[in-house]
Amino acid sequence: MNNLLAYIPLFSLAIAIIPREKLYIAAIGALPFSVFIASSLLADALLIGLCAIFFALFSAITTHCKQISETKLLLLTILTIMLLTCKIAYARLVIFGLDSARRSLFAKRRYLCCGLSARTAISVYNYMGSHIGLQQH
C-alpha cells in the first residue's frame, strides 16, 4: 500500500510537468503492469515514478528552453542521483536522455551532470557496502 501511495503522487507530478502528450504518460501510468507493481511489495514503484518525473522534467526542459539554467540542471542531477541510487541499470536511460539534449544542454553541462551523479551514486554504494556489509569478503 505504501508503494501505491508513493506511485500516485509521483505519476501525478509527472503528468503535471510534461508539456504535451499528457495522455500518453497517463496511459503508461495506468497500464495494468505498472499498477500491479505499484500495488505490490516490489520496490520498483518508486523507481517507475522517478523515471516518469525524470522523463517529464526532461521533456519540459528541452521543449521550452534554449539552454538549461543552473536550477533545472540541479533538478536533473538530483533526479539522476536518485535513479542511479535506486537501480544502476537505469544509467542508460539517463545517459541517453542527456545525450539527446544537445540543443539545450551543452557538452560541459552534460558531463557535469553525469559525472556528479555517477560520483554521488558510487559514494552511496561504497558507504552502504562498508556500513551494511554488502562487500565481498
Across residues 60-87, what is the average pLDDT? 76
73 closest CA partner among 104, 99, 119, 50: 104
> How far, in Å, CA of 89 to CA of 5, rounded?
24
Where is pLDDT greater, at 22 or 133?
22
Instruction: Check residue 133 and give left, alpha or beta (phi > 0: left; psi -120 to 50: alpha).
Output: left
Cβ-based neighbours of 1, under 8 Å, separated by 6 or more: 39
Burial-class residue 91 by CB neighbours within 10 Å (0-12, 13-18, 19+).
middle
Where are the alpha helices (H) located in 18-135, listed in sequence order?
Answer: 22-29, 32-39, 44-64, 70-86, 91-99, 107-132
Quick one: cell of 60? 519540459
Q: What percent of the chain has pLDDT over 70?
A: 64
pLDDT tens sequence across 92-136 = 777 666 666 555 556 666 666 666 666 676 677 666 667 665 544
Record the pTM.
Answer: 0.69
User: Can you give the pLDDT at residue 85?
Assistant: 75
What average pLDDT does the structure give for the chain?
76
